[in-house]
Amino acid sequence: MKSHVFVVDVDSYPVHRDRLFCSVKNPNRINARGNPNSSFFGLYADIKALRKGDLVFFYQMRKGEEKHLRGFRGVFKVVSDPFFSDEIIDGVSNSFSNLGSLNKKVLGRCPKCGSSVSDKQKDVKKTINGRERKVTIKYCQKCGEELDFHILPNRVLIEPLVYYDDPIDDNTAYIDRNFIKKKGMLWTMLFRKTFGAGRERSITHILPEETEKLLFMFKTLFREKKIDTSNHYNPEVMKPLIVPLDTKENGELVIEAYLEAWMMENIDKNIPVLKEIIGPVNQIEYVGNNVLYGIGGEKVDVLVLHKKNEERFKATVIELKKGKLKKQDILQIGNYTKWMAQLVFGDNTKESKNKIQPVLIGFQTPQDIISFARNFITDTQSPIILNYKVGNNTIKFERIL
């Protein structure tokens, strides 16, 4: 059961709910140095992990004093491939909830200059009711004009699966021991909230057991409500999100984020060599990128969980390197074994560790690194090494070990 959490706030959530779509930011494609922006293509990797039929929850952040509105909301289902659209989407006048979308919008571009680069926020001083106060405002990165709503042009369409109007607040999700005892902690979501940089991600791919817990809590705490689907968003244009595969003169990808985004789009697409590593598509239980497994911000590039006969029998952990593999890349396997076993199998026993399959993907693998990896002693299965090669706008792999 593949599920994803989209981060929203009190302005964007009701529009997403009423018009039935999810959206994420659109950073500058080029960074300040004039190079491809890894954050931009990292976001592409996040959204390209979605597949039709996947579940979607929203996590509504607190804004101002609206603490009671913070929490998890849902449950929806993905019904389209990700796409780009700079359309401005209005809320609806007959919004059915106590959190209505009337007079709210999700922007696809700046109304002033037309830029589709997402807004930024800053604190400014404003006079409110005769008193000077510090407030946070949104503004366009291109023209600098203040904005009332977010610019979110990278989108995917959804439909309601089971809808509950009330949110599951953080205290219930993370602290309430009645639910923790029955269904466990929301580990990847907890790490996302405690690791500062992780808060900036618009999408988090959550583990199947975390999905089960959210569904259990919604069903236990709240009554299902019907949702009006008549106002759903019909895009005029749905531009596909294209991952470039630009390389240096030697054939190495310009940035690693290209490889990550391509992997998330194609990992289950029957790619030669890679398909032997991933195995049958019908046994893929979960795929996620940049998966946090520790409160210190430790993460793995790609995690695939495999399930057969109702049992999770393997976890494939993939580390991506755009250049030559190094000794430290091999040593990295030993660093995550214990924590990854605890995250996906619930303990760090020898049996659980041996269900982990490390995979290293790089541009080149020197012979001494191959020898080191072949003799590397670890509690996991023996590491697999693949070299990538870019050609004809795709990536091919060669198994080295």
Element (H, E) at 329: helix 327-345
Is residue 344 within a helix (H) or strand (E), and if so which, with residue range? helix 327-345
Distance CA 72, CA 60 (A): 6
Round to whole Å and give the CA distance between 244 and 263.
Answer: 12
> Which whole number is the average pLDDT over 284-303?
87
- Which pair of tokens denotes residue 30? 């080029």
Give the model's pLDDT for residue 194. Answer: 42
What percent of the chain lies above the pLDDT cut of 70?
A: 90
Amino acid at 250: N
Between the CA of residue 137 and those of 75, 149, 152, what are the distances in Å?
A: 30, 10, 16
DSSP string computed for 284-301: EEEEEEEEE-STT--EEE
- Going by C-alpha positions, the residue among 93, 77, 75, 57 that lies closest to residue 230 is 93
* pLDDT score recorded for residue 327: 96
Evaluate whether 359 touches 318 at the Cβ level (below 8 Å): yes
Share of the chain above pLDDT 90, in %: 70
Q: What is the pLDDT of residue 22?
A: 97
| Residue 219 pLDDT greater than 80, yes or no | yes
Confirm if 108 and 88 have CB atoms less than 8 A apart. yes
Whether residue 99 contacts residue 14, with contact meaning beta carbons closer than 8 Å, is answered with yes
What is residue 98's predicted lDDT score, i.e. its pLDDT?
A: 67
pTM, two decimals, is 0.92
Average pLDDT over the chain reads 90
Give the tokens for residue 11.
């302005």
Element (H, E) at 396: strand 394-399
Q: Would you state the pLDDT for residue 281?
A: 95
**386: pLDDT strictly greater than 90:** yes
Phi-psi region of 13 (alpha: psi -120 to 50; beta: other; left: phi over 0): alpha
Residue 94: per-residue pLDDT = 82
As a whole number of angstroms, the distance between CA 332 and CA 363 comes to 18
Question: Per-residue pLDDT tens for 314-326?
Answer: 999 999 999 999 9
Residue-by-residue DSSP string for 230-243: TT----S--EE---
Region for 249 from its dihedrals, namely left if φ exceeds 0, alpha if ψ lies in -120 to 50, beta otherwise: alpha
228-279 pLDDT, tens digit each: 899 999 999 999 999 999 999 999 999 999 999 999 999 999 999 999 999 9
CA 375 to chain centre: 35
In this predicted structure, what is the pLDDT of residue 200?
47
Instruction: Read off the pLDDT band of 61 (50, 70, 90).
Output: confident
Cβ atoms of residues 5 and 204 within 8 Å: yes
DSSP per residue, 118-184 = PPEEEEEEEEETTEEEEEEEEE-TTT--EESS-B--EEEEEEEEEEEEEEE-HIIIII-HHHHHHH-
Judged by DSSP in three states, 333 sits in helix
Please report the pLDDT score of residue 125 as a whole number: 82
Residue 318 near residue 49 (C-beta atoms within 8 A): no
- How would residue 99 be classed by pLDDT, with cut points 50, 70 and 90? confident
pLDDT band at 16 (very low <50, low <70, confident <90, very high): very high
Distance CA 387, CA 277 (A): 13
Query: Does position 199 have pLDDT exceeding 60, yes or no?
Result: no
Nearest CA-CA partner of 24 in 153, 116, 119, 139: 153
Q: CB neighbours (10 Å) of residue 183?
A: 17
Condensed to tens digits (0 to 9), the pLDDT of residues 123-180 reads 888 777 778 888 888 999 999 999 999 999 999 999 999 999 889 987 777 766 667 6
What are all long-range contacts of 91-95, with beta carbons under 8 Å and residues at least 24 apart? 91/14, 91/15, 91/18, 91/19, 92/18, 92/19, 92/231, 94/228, 95/14, 95/18
- Which domains are assigned to the chain? 3-108+152-221 (3.10.590.10), 256-399 (3.40.1350)
Q: Is the pLDDT of residue 68 over 60?
A: no
What secondary structure letter does DSSP report for 58? E
Residue 129 burial class via C-beta count within 10 angstroms: exposed 0-12, middle 13-18, buried 19 and up:
exposed
pLDDT above 60: residue 191: no
